[in-house]
């Protein structure tokens, strides 16, 4: 399936607009990023009601926050990882900060209301709950499970086009690959496994949730990064 990808720099996080036979968004930016989503859509002669699919890489507010608004206005089909769906749908609360790093441990001691005030978003029903291995036929995208940042984290892979939307599993600040936010992650062993998986996908382009698009030879760039991380013991024991 051929589609064009346009990066939407939403301030806190990226979203991506896919245009071709169908109109789709990968992630939705945080609150103010909504204006950027609209601007990019209008730049293509489209508007929010034209969105047919909303693909969510993981449940964090900076990716899922505008999903409800966009779905309500467009009737788009919302696709997200099954293990993240209860949080997106609001049947489960946001998990607390992790204890992987000092910042997470510190934030876990802050009043809950403080975190909730910026993490909260309007909850919305997930139409297709995916676990990995599914194909989104309309877009020609395969779902690849990449747990470790969140339990239901997923990557959307265009195998033929050798490109993938990798969410937070690999960030790219300053043009360099980086870890997902460890203050809000599941575990380093799972992150390592998911990053190794991305390194093995033969990607030319990786579209991250934060920072610049990784290209060319994205999988090789990620593989080099994983090796360096291993050498410095960044994944723990």
Contact positions vs Zn ion (CB under 5 A): 60, 168
- Residue nearest to Zn ion according to CB distances in the complex: 60
In the complex, minimum distance from the CB of residue 63 to Zn ion, in angstroms, rounded to a whole number: 6
In the complex, minimum distance from the CB of residue 22 to Zn ion, in angstroms, rounded to a whole number: 25
SS3 135: strand
| CB nearer Zn ion, residue 140 or residue 167 | 167
In the complex, minimum distance from the CB of residue 4 to Zn ion, in angstroms, rounded to a whole number: 25
| CB nearer Zn ion, residue 140 or residue 153 | 153
Non-local CB neighbours of 53 within 8 Å, separated by 6+ positions? 18, 22, 23, 24, 25, 76, 77, 79, 136, 138, 139
- How many angstroms separate the CA atoms of 172 and 207, rounded? 9
- On the CB side of 37, how many CA atoms lie within 13 Å of its CA? 32
In the complex, minimum distance from the CB of residue 61 to Zn ion, in angstroms, rounded to a whole number: 9
- How many angstroms separate the CA atoms of 230 and 38, rounded? 41
CA distances to 24, 47, 162, 203, 229 from 207, rounded to whole Å, are 15, 22, 11, 10, 20
| CB nearer Zn ion, residue 84 or residue 168 | 168
| CB nearer Zn ion, residue 48 or residue 79 | 79
In the complex, minimum distance from the CB of residue 68 to Zn ion, in angstroms, rounded to a whole number: 18
| CB nearer Zn ion, residue 13 or residue 41 | 13
């Amino acid at each position: 399936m051929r589609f064009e990808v346009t990066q939407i720099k939403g301030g806190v996080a990226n979203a991506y607009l896919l245009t071709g036979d169908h109109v789709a968004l990968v992630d939705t930016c945080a609150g103010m990023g909504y204006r950027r989503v609209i601007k990019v859509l209008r730049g293509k002669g489209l508007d929010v009601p034209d969105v047919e699919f909303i693909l969510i890489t993981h449940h964090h507010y900076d990716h899922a926050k505008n999903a409800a608004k966009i779905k309500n206005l467009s009737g788009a089909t919302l696709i997200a990882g099954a293990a993240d769906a209860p949080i997106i749908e609001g049947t489960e609360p946001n998990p607390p900060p992790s204890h992987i790093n000092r910042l997470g441990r510190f934030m876990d001691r802050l009043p809950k209301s403080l975190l909730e005030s910026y993490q909260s978003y309007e909850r919305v029903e997930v139409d297709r709950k995916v676990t990995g291995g599914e194909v989104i036929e309309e877009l020609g995208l395969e779902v690849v499970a990449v747990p470790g940042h969140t339990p239901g984290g997923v990557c959307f892979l265009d195998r033929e086009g050798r490109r993938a939307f990798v969410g937070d599993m690999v960030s790219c600040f300053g043009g360099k690959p980086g870890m997902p936010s460890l203050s809000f992650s599941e575990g380093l062993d799972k992150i390592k496994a998911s990053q190794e998986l991305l390194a093995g996908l033969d990607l030319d382009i990786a579209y991250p949730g934060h920072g610049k698009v990784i290209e060319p030879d994205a999988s090789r760039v990620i593989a080099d990064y994983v090796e360096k991380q291993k050498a410095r013991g960044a994944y723990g024991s």
